[in-house]
Amino acid sequence: MTFLISDACPVPGRNTEPAPGINRRRSLALLLGLGLPAAQAQTELTDLARIRASGVLKVAVYKDNAPFSDGPAADMQGLDIALATALARQMQLKLALLPFDAGERMNDDLRNMVWRGHYLGYGPADIMLHVPVDKYLMQENRQALIFAPYMRQVQVLLHDTRVLPQVAGPDDLKGRKLAVERGTGLASVLMGQQGGMLREQVSLYSSGVEAAQAVVNGQAAAAYVLRSQAEAALALASPKPAHLALTSMPLEGIAENGWPLGLAIKVGNKDLGQAIESAFKELRSNGELLAMFQQRGMTLTAP
């Protein structure tokens, strides 16, 4: 099994029918027939065998993370939801989503949803989606295996070309109304440029999609957001405004080429990792992964 690792910088139930096969009772009975105690028999099962015995793949996804995973827990929508559904189907398992609120640090999320579980009693999941595939994050979280990048997040400036025809750097944004997502690294970097010269021009929004929609609706001249968020906002506009453009504008403090997103599982769950890699390979080869992005007006950027 090949796990792809990035050198990027650190960055700020939908169900399918399971296929017939091994179940928890039959697998335990088989091991008990070999003379193993019940507790030992259960531990002898591999990680993947335990999942197949349950018939359910538990996938952790972020709450309030449009356009990836958003909406009420019983009816979440977004790219990561579609991906989780497809992975479960490829592995011939039912899907159980574990939506969770983002912690203060990614390390908290990995601990709560991947390898230990939350102190409030939920988790861990079998898989956690939307994890930066980053070598520094891996070094700090050796209990988790981070792999299988499925896209690259990149930051862009969505701008109204009628007032900002071209943007080469932060100086071009002086005097313009700007939008950004509250509490993000992008917000900190934008407002901190050149001693905070843009701070008074910036309006904060609860999500990057909402920040982008402020530009679509004419409430801001530009929004510094992720490409995925900008494209999701543009996809909702009908007709698509011809006066809006996406421009790459790296700012000091943000990796110029963005960062790849993958998933995480508990370290040592090699059988599960191999099954996930096989499922991803099929989703890529049959065009389903690309279609997930295209259906949402999003670009599948190579990780």
% of the chain with per-residue pLDDT over 90: 77
The predicted model gives 201-219 an average pLDDT of: 97
pLDDT of res. 163: 95
Q: What is the CATH number of the domain that holds 65?
A: 3.40.190.10
Residue 94 has pLDDT above 60, yes or no: yes
* Highest mean pLDDT: which range of 18-32, 111-125, 206-220: 206-220
CA-angle at 79, arms to 73 and 84, nearest 5° = 70
pTM: 0.83
What's the domain count of the chain?
2
Token reading at 119: 């102190």
Residue 18 lies in a domain: no
Query: pLDDT higher for 10 or 155?
Result: 155
| Whether residues 161 and 145 fall in one domain | no
Residues 83 and 118 in one domain: yes
- By the 8 A CB rule, do 114 and 37 touch? no
pLDDT of 33 higher than 60: no
pLDDT greater than 90 at residue 128: yes
Give the domain extent around 181. Answer: 155-247
State yes or no: pLDDT of 25 exceeds 60.
Answer: no
- Whether 37 has a pLDDT exceeding 80, the answer reads no
Query: Do residues 213 and 82 share a domain?
Result: no
Nearest of 287, 295, 182, 299 to residue 229 by alpha carbon:
299
> For 50-73, what is each residue's pLDDT tens digit?
999 999 999 999 999 999 999 999
Identify whether residues 160 and 143 lie together within a single domain.
no
Any idea which of 7-11, 99-103, 262-266, 291-295 has the lowest mean pLDDT?
A: 7-11
